[in-house]
Structure 1
Amino acid sequence: MSNAWEAAVEAQIRSALDRGEFDNLPGMGKPIPGRGQPYDESWWIKSFLEREALPSTLLLPTPLQLRRKVEQVPDEVRDLPTEEAVRAYVAVLNAEIVAWLRNPTGPRVVVRPVNVDETVQRWRADRAQAAAAPTVAASPEQPRATAGRPRRRWWLWWRRRG
């Protein structure tokens, strides 16, 4: 029975070749990606992250993601327009941290909620320092100091909640 099955499949493949259904397929004539390289068990996740342009931090366990968010708080709140926005951002982050502390998963890593008052004081000091700094018109010869750092959108943290 299996020989008859294989013969029928081979006949269909030959007839498709004769009709030209396998001509001009995408990737025709190109080398197979990863051929000649050592086998990597997580090749599919790496290719998925690269193809979808996702950050590799998504692979980190929850406590390490939270620690990274805590470390980035000063950079994230720097461009926020009001103190209420700063407090709201820190409140959302603290809610994530408390939710993880109630039901911890992953490695045992110390993650503490962010002090809202210290963050607001630092935000005020950064704004005062930026206001006190002389503003120099950027000439075409002088690149801006923030040209290498992409502008952070303060409203993106709302999207991260869901």
Structure 2
Amino acid sequence: MTERKPLGMPFETWVDRQIREAEERGEFDNLPGKGKPIPDLDKVGDELWWVKQKLRGEGLSMPLPPTLALRKEAEESLEAAAKARSEGEVRLIINEINDRIRAAIRTGLSGPPLNLMPFDVERVVSEWRARR
């Protein structure tokens, strides 16, 4: 257990002493990753990269807010429609996600703004045909 900081001792000096004494006792020896660079430390752009990496490493995930989950589901539905085997399957996939989008617009979902409108079924079918 760490002792309390003595009165009158600067905080930084007290912390430095605690670290030095722990090093002398060997408490930092044999730590996982000792002497290795921190992975992805040089990646820029995402302030929470290390949190996401830790969650992945621990096999944890955080549920998305409902609006973001629906956006993701909409993207996945478009991908599934592009891979569909028939025009009927494309229509089914798009109509199902459109029903969920319309319900979300009617009732509202928590999270960031949905910013999503139902897909034009005929346009998606036309794009599917063009790829065939």
**Cα distance change, pair 79–125 in 1 and its aligned pair in 2 (3 A):** same
Counterpart of 2:117 in structure 1 is 112
Report if aligned partners of 1:74, 1:123 keep a CA contact under 8 Å in 2.
no
Structural mapping, 1:12-161, within 5 Å: 46=55, 50=59, 56=61, 59-106=63-110, 107-127=112-132
Structure 1, gaps ≥5 residues long: 1-41, 128-162
Q: Give the alignment's TM-score, normalised by structure 1.
A: 0.42
SS of equivalent to 1:124: helix
- Point out the more displaced range, 114-123 or 101-110: 101-110
Report if aligned partners of 2:87, 2:125 keep a CA contact under 8 Å in 1.
yes
In 2, Cα distance between equivalents of 1:121 and 1:72: 18
Q: Give the alignment's TM-score, normalised by structure 2.
A: 0.50
Report if aligned partners of 2:91, 2:121 keep a CA contact under 8 Å in 1.
yes
Report if aligned partners of 1:70, 1:114 keep a CA contact under 8 Å in 2.
no
Number of residue equivalences:
86
**Cα distance change, pair 74–99 in 1 and its aligned pair in 2 (3 A):** closer
SS of equivalent to 1:101: helix
Report if aligned partners of 2:77, 2:97 keep a CA contact under 8 Å in 1.
no
Structure 2, gaps ≥5 residues long: 1-50
Identical residues among aligned pairs (%): 29
Q: CA RMSD in A?
A: 3.3
In 1, Cα distance between equivalents of 2:109 and 2:82: 31
